[in-house]
Amino acid sequence: MRCIRTIWIGLAVVYAALLAWHQPLRGPLSEDELRAAFGAQYAQMHLIEDAQARAFLDFFLNDDGRPFHMVNFNALPERSPEADEAAQTYGAFMAPRLLARASYPVLSTDVIVGLTNTLGPGVDNAERLVVVRYRSRRDFLNIISTPEFREAVQHKSASLDGWYSAPSTAAAMVSVPLLALIALLAIGGLGTLVARRRHRMVPRQSTKTLTHS
């Protein structure tokens, strides 16, 4: 039936659009992209004898073109209007930029501190764990390499007593495309069932053949 065909074509278009938005399609970063993003600082970053700065640059140079997750351990300050406002300002800056790049928080939970001390030196006072999914390292770079981000990150610093961040693989996380596919198949199946039931309920018009002698 035409109605059922329309349902499945529409759902296929929706799923294709979701994949185009959610999945990285451009492959790994090129060195030219890094040069353009960092500008004059790119050459300096190669010369800096700082392990953390070098690891930061290597993170982009060794891009595999796949999604990743940024794991953040945040140390929370005492509740204050200033800290709340800074957090809201930073969130208002990041939220639309993350969403436009199919990037989003997948976990935000409070850490039970005092029970164990396995977070490592310098982060044993972290009180909140936040995991953010990024579609690609290119998307992450496009956010953090702008002057607007360098201004906005000051609000993040004002909203926290400190934080520790580390990128991780995305392989073990929940697959949004798979969940969406299951949901769309369920919608398609339900739509097909309803369409067929309505088709059966429509009375068939009997045709009479008139013969003239």
Structure confidence at residue 4 as a pLDDT band (50, 70, 90) = confident
Residues of the chain by 3-state class (helix, strand, coil), percent to 5: 55, 15, 30
Structure token digits, residue 121: 């030196």
pLDDT tens string 170-197: 665 567 777 878 888 888 888 787 777 7
Q: Can you give the length of the chain in residues?
A: 213
Is 72 domain-assigned? yes
pLDDT tens string 7-50: 888 889 998 998 899 999 999 999 999 989 888 788 777 777 77
Is 41 domain-assigned? no
pLDDT tens string 55-107: 888 899 999 999 999 999 898 888 899 999 999 999 999 999 999 999 999 88
| Nearest CA-CA partner of 103 in 164, 24, 16 | 24
What's the domain range around 152?
Answer: 67-169
User: Could you tell me the CATH number of the domain that includes residue 121?
Assistant: 3.30.70.100
Number of domains composing the chain: 1
DSSP code per residue over 16-42: HHHHHHHS--S-SPPHHHHHHHHTTHH
Is 32 domain-assigned? no
Is 157 domain-assigned? yes
Is 25 domain-assigned? no
Is 176 domain-assigned? no
Whether the predicted model's global pTM rises above the 0.85 cut: no
User: How many helical (H) and strand (E) elements, i.e. helices and strands, does the chain have?
Assistant: 8, 4
Which whole number is the average pLDDT over 183-212? 69
User: From the CB of residue 117, how many other CB atoms can be counted at a distance below 10 Å?
Assistant: 9
**pLDDT at residue 84, rounded to an integer:** 92
Which region holds residue 19: left if phi is over 0, alpha if psi is between -120 and 50, else beta? alpha
Amino acid, res. 93: F
